[in-house]
Amino acid sequence: MQMTNRVPDWVTPVAWIFIALAVATAAWIAYDVYARRHRHASIAAEIVWITSALYLGPFAIPLYTRYGRNPVPGTQPAAVAGLPGGGASAIAHLIGVPLVIASGLTIAGIDLWVMILVIGALAILLLFVYEQVATRRAGHPLSVGGAAVAAVVTVLAFDIGMGGWMLLLHFNELMPPATDAAFWFLMQLGIVLGLMTGYPVVRRLAARGQSAAPA
């Protein structure tokens, strides 16, 4: 990827502040879950809430305190059911971006396409595992095929926002290097956009019992 840093200078300090708040929020939620013993039905659900802070930053706190601290299965809104997809994407970025850069793989001389494919594949795998665990805990386990379809459809809908955002940045020469805090901040914004484009699909899957909110 021919990354060029034409992002305004003010984005970098904002990025560092938001990333610091995101890490601090994730640490606080982890502390509340494991030290204060606000445990969930599965470790998978706990990981979802912790990783939600990695892209929502401090905005994850009101969601967690209302719907995550003492979860009641079946009472969370459909928007909360989208958080596993966001968490899967966040982890997929942390793994996939360095992996693609280190590999040097490209398609048509651009590693952005490889990055989108790798991140998407990792997100599907992670979301598939979550759906298998969460729906089993909820008492209505999905079949392997059902969980796979739900994961693929969710990630594809999610990538309309996330992948579209990456392409927009790239082709407008606004994609900073992956070593820049601004890159990760912009990816956090992309995950939020993915939550928005994925919401209709997640809502439909949740209504049909094919997607489980973290509880």
C-alpha distances (whole Å) from 140 to each of 2, 30, 137, 153, 206 are 46, 27, 8, 19, 12
Q: Is residue 183 part of a domain?
A: yes
17 lies in some domain: yes
Q: Does residue 1 fall inside a structural domain?
A: no
The reported pLDDT for the residue numbered 207 is: 84
Average pLDDT, the chain: 90
Q: Domain of 192?
A: 11-207
pLDDT cut 90: percent of the chain above it: 65
**Domain for residue 78, yes or no?**
yes
Q: How many domains does the chain have?
A: 1
Within a domain: residue 179? Answer: yes
Residue 2 belongs to some domain of the structure? no
Asked whether the whole model's pTM tops 0.85, one would answer yes
Asked if the structure places residue 214 within a domain, the reply is no
- Evaluate whether residue 215 is within a structural domain: no
pLDDT tens-digit profile of 62-113?
Answer: 999 999 888 776 678 888 989 999 999 999 999 999 999 999 988 878 888 9
**117-155 pLDDT, tens digit each:** 999 999 999 999 998 888 787 667 788 888 899 999 999
